Amino acid sequence: MPEKPVLNSRNKKPRGLDFLFSDVQYLKGVGPRKGEALKKHGIKTVFDLFYYVPRKYLDRSLITPLDKLEEGMTVTVLGTVVAFGELRRRRRLFKVIIENDRAELELVWFSGYRYLQNAFSEGDVICVSGTVRRYGGLNIPHPEFEVVGSREDETIHTGRLIPIYPENSLFKEVGLHSRGLRRIIKPALDHLAENPCETIPEKWRKEYGLYDLTRAIYQIHFPDKMETADSGRQRLAFEELFYLELIMAGRKSNRRKKMTGIKIGPPKKMGRKLLDSLGFKLTKAQVRVLNEIYADMAAGFQMNRVIQGDVGSGKTIVAALAMLGAIENGFQAAIMAPTEILAEQHYFSISGLLKPLDIDTVLITGSVRGANRAETMDAIAGGRASVVIGTHALIQKKVEFNNLGFAVIDEQQRFGVAQRGDLLAKGLNPDILVMSATPIPRTLAMTIYGDLDISVIDEMPPGRIPVKTKLVPEDKRHEMYDFVKNAVKNSQTAYVIYPLVEETEKSDLKAATEGYEQLKGDIFPDRTVGLLHGRMKGEEKQKIMIDFRDRKIDILVATTVVEVGLDIPTATIMLIEHAERFGLSQLHQLRGRVGRAGIKSYCFLMTGPRVTEDASRRIEALTEISDGFKISEIDLQIRGPGEILGTRQHGMPELKVADLTDTRLISLARRLAFDMIEEDPALNSEENRFIKTVLKMRLGKKLKYSKIG
């Protein structure tokens, strides 16, 4: 960054891209305090500032003038705060008076005084929604309100649309409320307009009807109409996605180019033997995915593939068959799971699958300690252990592999890209297979797993009957228990799940333990009831799982630890307590624990007294839909693109403008980016050179991520 003032000085104004990516601190009006606040919020450059887009726009034509109000109307109004404060009459109340040139209006509150005291300043222009009452004069009790600017703020008084920026107390403290922001954005934008520059190819702008950069930013912050604000956003969203996809394309092309991966042929004898030992035939989809994996393994580049498939679609056996390729060729294979219990479950089922093949499988988790641990480490280092299953304990420095050639990462959502990297470092470019827990729509998967190849198991094993899913009201609880009793009598088993958000959450654990005691003592006294939670020791957990599988336990009370991966075919009932506290994909995962053996199965949802609107939408979706891909689409809509599936953890830059549900734009950006890298991998052509410059500037310090150029 240049150590010279940018807009603060007359003579030394950088132009074009240099200006766009210069330090925000050098903008006129941004002193140290504002600069610091902006940077704390991730706004480091002028470019970042332009990308700080309004949360929404208020359409002035939908605002009712203050002099047109009548009792009983539900309205949105706009006015300037002229007075506010707490009054002590017969009742304590807080009052705000707003006015515009035509009239005044009172807003009143009967609670929340402390918050309100700090919420307003004289001269604030606020937008208020509520229902008008008459009490003496007209007023609005307990309105929704939002500070949108101040009296002197021109855009508030002229434009039809009033931009509303995200609530940000940090910004407010230093005077960067909406108006303060626009005050620094406007001159910066004017400077850009005088010295325009571009970050995407001109020809695409024409072809896809995208605004030029200046216009886009202008329309976002100072819109003429809703439509033009929207077009501005589209343009920035496209740009954001394009550069994201460009990084992905670069990473992928780099990996392909290197050709330093291990070449492994598909398993022969071992594969046959394993297939013969299964009680079923692979589905067409499983075979197809397996062939995609084998093709990657045989190629000279390092495999990086993700398997997407609904709960119960049979990802585990596919992973096991893939690993055999490595093992038969003399390499070690590893599976990394996100939780201890899942690692144990994998160990349990994989070692079972591989035992007839004489393959040594070891487990390494935090609970494997002492002599056992030392022995396990030895087996891994010496190569005696062909398959190593574990949690992130697996990627600790101390664990040394003899020759790791293939690694499966299960339920990737919970691991970050960094961990993928650590695992990679354990072997000579081992092939990597990621198994995703939650199926997600294709375009989204392409973006999130951007640099990975995707295989989709889009078919369920035959004979699966959809799990009947019901919301059970509290007064039907005992009827439901009777139903469970009956099922259990017919040698089926049931889960009862309690939420446990954090493994350390004491009150949650207490609820599960109490639930367990009650079910054991009062509800099912003549049945065996077991308890499973994350705080139990490894061996304890394993014993419970084995007992449950062998039907020595009829009803398993568990916390969310069973959410992923547990595979007990006799289980036919899934009873979820406080279903309102679970996410939709999580509920779908839980439901996926039953109905795995062609026996009619049930999922009962119980809720606590307080169910939010979103929670009831989730529950409704679950009761109506059984397809995991559709479920995740709805999950996306409910949660919103911002919170999507922990995109941060994927090592994906946070998207500021783009919406991950906009599949059309994502596809376009992806296609253009991948085509560009395919034609010109280092972005060295005359035409593309500026793209490389922009990419570098956008990435700033993160440059090493891309490895382009």
Question: Which residues contribute to the site for Mg ion (CB under 5 A)?
Answer: 565
Question: For ligand ADP, which stretch binds (CB under 6 A), given 312-320, 372-380, 646-654, 695-703?
Answer: 312-320
Q: 283 or 607, CB closer to ligand ADP?
A: 283
Q: 156 or 564, CB closer to ligand ADP?
A: 564
Q: Two tokens at 470? A: 């019901």
Residue 283 sits in the site that holds ligand ADP (CB under 6 A): yes
Question: For ligand ADP, which stretch binds (CB under 6 A), given 175-183, 242-250, 311-319, 528-536?
Answer: 311-319
**Whether 47 contacts 20, CB under 8 Å:** yes
Q: How far is the CB of 318 from ligand ADP (least distance, A)?
A: 8
139 vs 86: CA distance, rounded Å = 16
Q: Tell which positions 631-670 bind ligand ADP, by CB under 6 A.
A: none
Handedness of CA 13, 14, 16, 20 (dihedral sign): negative
426 binds, among ligand ADP, Mg ion, none (CB under 5 to 8 A by kind): none
Residue 567 sits in the site that holds ligand ADP (CB under 6 A): yes
Residue 232 sits in the site that holds ligand ADP (CB under 6 A): no
Question: For ligand ADP, which stretch binds (CB under 6 A), given 257-265, 315-323, 330-338, 541-549?
Answer: 315-323
572 binds, among ligand ADP, Mg ion, none (CB under 5 to 8 A by kind): none
Tell me the residue number closest to ligand ADP, measured at CB: 314
What number of chain residues touch ligand ADP (CB under 6 A)?
Answer: 17
Q: How far is the CB of 35 from Mg ion (least distance, A)?
A: 49
646 vs 654: CA distance, rounded Å = 10
Q: Two tokens at 353? A: 């699958």
Q: Two tokens at 374? A: 């030392």
Q: For the purposes of burial, counting CB atoms within 10 Å of the CB of 528, is it exposed (0-12), middle (13-18) or buried (19 or more)? A: middle
Residue 314 sits in the site that holds ligand ADP (CB under 6 A): yes
499 binds, among Mg ion, ligand ADP, none (CB under 5 to 8 A by kind): none
**Within 13 A of 20's CA, how many CA atoms are on the CB side?**
23
Q: 290 or 385, CB closer to ligand ADP?
A: 290
Q: How far is the CB of 252 from ligand ADP (least distance, A)?
A: 25
Q: 128 or 409, CB closer to ligand ADP?
A: 409
Whose CA is closest to 617, among 631, 606, 603? 631
Residue that is written with structure tokens 């695992």 in the block: 423
261 binds, among ligand ADP, Mg ion, none (CB under 5 to 8 A by kind): none
364 vs 372: CA distance, rounded Å = 10
Return the ∠ at Cα 571 (arms to 569 and 573), rounded to 5°: 145
Stretch (H or E) spanning 629: helix 628-639
Q: 346 or 698, CB closer to Mg ion?
A: 346
57 vs 159: CA distance, rounded Å = 11
Which of 44, 177, 315, 593: binder of ligand ADP (CB under 6 A)?
315
503 binds, among ligand ADP, Mg ion, none (CB under 5 to 8 A by kind): none
**Whether 66 contacts 101, CB under 8 Å:** no
Q: 307 or 694, CB closer to ligand ADP?
A: 307
What is the pattern of x (binds ligand ADP, CB under 6 A) and - over residues 321-350? ------------------------------
Q: 328 or 563, CB closer to Mg ion?
A: 563
What is the pattern of x (binds ligand ADP, CB under 6 A) and - over residues 596-635? x---------------------------------------
Residue 282 sits in the site that holds ligand ADP (CB under 6 A): yes
Q: Which amino acid is at 661?
A: T
Neighbours of 9 (CB within 10 A): 11
Whose CA is closest to 363, among 327, 319, 399? 399
Tell me the residue number closest to Mg ion, measured at CB: 565
Q: 534 or 565, CB closer to Mg ion?
A: 565
Q: 54 or 565, CB closer to Mg ion?
A: 565
370 vs 379: CA distance, rounded Å = 14
Q: How far is the CB of 501 from ligand ADP (least distance, A)?
A: 23
Q: How far is the CB of 623 from ligand ADP (least distance, A)?
A: 21
Q: How far is the CB of 647 from Mg ion (least distance, A)?
A: 22
Angstrom CA distances, 378 to 385, 398, 495, stand at 9, 11, 38
Q: How far is the CB of 353 from ligand ADP (least distance, A)?
A: 9
Q: Which residues face 309 on adjacent strands?
A: 457
Q: Which residues does 456 contact at the CB level (< 8 Å), separation at least 6?
A: 285, 289, 307, 308, 309, 442
**Whether 76 contacts 66, CB under 8 Å:** no
Q: How far is the CB of 258 from ligand ADP (least distance, A)?
A: 31
Stretch (H or E) spanning 137: strand 137-141
Q: Two tokens at 685? A: 């052509």
| Dihedral angle, C-alpha 113, 119, 125, 127, nearest 10 ° | -70
313 binds, among ligand ADP, Mg ion, none (CB under 5 to 8 A by kind): ligand ADP
Residue 439 sits in the site that holds ligand ADP (CB under 6 A): no
Which of 45, 304, 316, 412: binder of ligand ADP (CB under 6 A)?
316
Rama region for 361: left / alpha / beta (φ>0; ψ in -120 to 50; rest): beta
468 vs 572: CA distance, rounded Å = 10
State the DSSP string of 4-43: S-STTSSS----HHHHHTSBGGGSTT--HHHHHHHHHTT-
Residue 591 sits in the site that holds ligand ADP (CB under 6 A): no
Which of 140, 176, 241, 317: binder of ligand ADP (CB under 6 A)?
317
**Whether 334 contacts 423, CB under 8 Å:** yes
- Point out which residues bind ligand ADP (CB under 6 A): 280, 282-283, 286, 309, 311-317, 461, 567, 569, 592, 596
